[in-house]
Amino acid sequence: GNSSRQKIGKEFTNVFLLTNTSEGYKYQISASVTKKLDNNYNLTAAYTYGISKDISNGVRNSPQANWEFNQTILPNNPNLAYSNSDIRHRILIVVQKQFDWKKIGNTVLSFVYNMQSGSPYSYVYIGDINRDGSPNNDLIYVPTSLADANLTDIKDRNGNVVLTASQQWDNLSVYIQNDKYLKKRIGKYADRNGARTPWNNQLDMKIIHTIPLKNKSRNIQVSFEAFNLSNLISKNWGRQYFVPNLLNANYQLLTLTGISNSTKPNLNFNKPVTVPWQVDPISSRFQGQLTVRYNF
């Protein structure tokens, strides 16, 4: 991890010295209220607030990979930041109703509505701006002006200017102002996992009908579970957002094209045509499950 990229010994490719830290922590606070109403109604509302912070995300299976993919400014002295598993806010509402049909059994109908803060992700450069040998993990600096942005003209293969530095700054400035997180970090470096995807909202339903048998200790249960019922109601509801984890939930915003005078980075900004997150194609869709169970 030496920034000069010089080997200490020819017999080693990489040498890592890792030590423990006491800086990381995690906690969750939950509160819930349950109320049983007339006509066999049960209502439950719960709220969870959770914070999780660490020095290194530790999601890879080797010390080398965890060091190389950890989003940071100084790789050998990373700052405490939100972990990949940071929950933040979660709201859960459960409504349940039981119907008694006497001889033909009973039916329990349940609706569960879950609202949760989006997943954290990081804004990074394309390229190895701190020259530690690990590309695509360096947190971006959010510039204040054109002079502060270190942008250079984008040219085609023939050397013709396609997009000037000034035009790139106009696009970048608008992008920053329209991003709730980056707008708050102007003049500072982005934090690891400082940005978040939109909230995830999902409505599920479950209906269970129990049929009694002559032997009272036995019964048949027929149930149907509707996962993400909200997406069945509207294709724009129930979307589950995520940032691909191929590069550890990174979003590459600025491109490093070179280094001037050994210290000054040359950057390009190509206006993104997509948002940093994607919609999960599986969990964002309605799914149903029918079950028949014989209890004895």
For 129-165, how does the pLDDT look when each residue is reduced to its tens digit (9 = 90+)? 988 888 889 999 999 999 999 999 999 999 999 999 9
Domain with 74, as residue range(s), is 25-295
165 assigned to some structural domain: yes
Mean pLDDT, rounded, for 262-267: 86
5 assigned to some structural domain: no
What's the chain's length in residues? 296
9 assigned to some structural domain: no
pTM of this structure: 0.85
The backbone torsions φ and ψ at residue 247, rounded to the nearest 5 degrees and listed phi first, read: -115, 35
pLDDT for 234-252, tens place per residue?
Answer: 999 999 999 886 667 889 9
Q: How many domains does the chain fold into?
A: 1
Q: Which is more confidently placed, 5 or 292? A: 292
> 């010994």: which residue's tokens?
9
248 assigned to some structural domain: yes
- Residue 44, strand partner residues: 34, 94
198 assigned to some structural domain: yes
2 assigned to some structural domain: no
258 assigned to some structural domain: yes
Tokens (6 digits) for 147:
């002079």
237 assigned to some structural domain: yes
